[in-house]
Structure 1
Amino acid sequence: MRDELYAKWIEAMKGVKFPVSSVDEVYAGLPKGAQSNISVGGIVVCNTGDLFSRFIKPTDFPIESAHALATMILDRAGL
């Protein structure tokens, strides 16, 4: 599941201009901002706003790439 979620996150963040210095900069590049969802097998498994509020801290910024952000979220979520 980690690989599939990772790939979906990378795809979803292709509109984000990295490096980013806040979650708002990430939201600005996502199609639905904080309301964006990631689905696996047609089932919504996570909401961007919920994930960021749980796993991303202001001290994590700047974040240099989509790869770094996706890895950080998945590691902290225990996936």
Structure 2
Amino acid sequence: MTVRTELFKQITGALANAKFPIKTPEELLNAFPDGANTTCKAEGVKMTAGEACKLLKPGDFPFKTAGQVANTILERAGL
């Protein structure tokens, strides 16, 4: 499994109970189980939700699915 695939699974899993659409960065952080401290890691890559949200832009919102969130974060992180 690639790093991207593993992180995608972890991000979407963390957002499994989130209510979409998510319209703001604050809503997104609150949707993660441990808020900004929610951590995903794979093969030496570690990212918190707080760090990931810094990669997002106002135009990225609203998010309609967890997969959309994960893909946007991973693309911006260069993964």
Partner residue, 1:40: 42
Aligned to 2:23: 21
Distance (Å, rounded) in 2 between the aligned partners of 1:48 and 1:11: 13
- The two structures have a TM-score, normalised by structure 2, of 0.86
Once superposed, what is the RMSD of the aligned Cα atoms?
1.5
How many residues are aligned here?
77
Partner residue, 1:78: 78
> 1:63 aligns to what?
63
Question: % of aligned pairs identical?
Answer: 34
Give the alignment's TM-score, normalised by structure 1: 0.86
Runs of 4+ in 1 over 2 A off after TM superposition: none
> Contact between 1:37 and 1:44, CA under 8 Å: does it hold in 2?
no
Name whichever structure is richer in helix by fraction. Answer: 1
For 1:26, the aligned partner's letter is L
Secondary structure at the counterpart of residue 7 of structure 1: helix
Contact 2:22–2:61 (CA<8 Å) still a contact in 1? yes
Contact map agreement 2:12 2:67 (CA 8 A) in 1: yes
Q: Which runs of 5+ in 2 are unaligned?
A: none
Deviation at 1:44, TM superposition (A): 6.5
Structure 1 residue ranges without an equivalent (≥5) = none
Cα separation, partners in 2 of 1:45 and 1:23, compared to 1, 3 Å: same
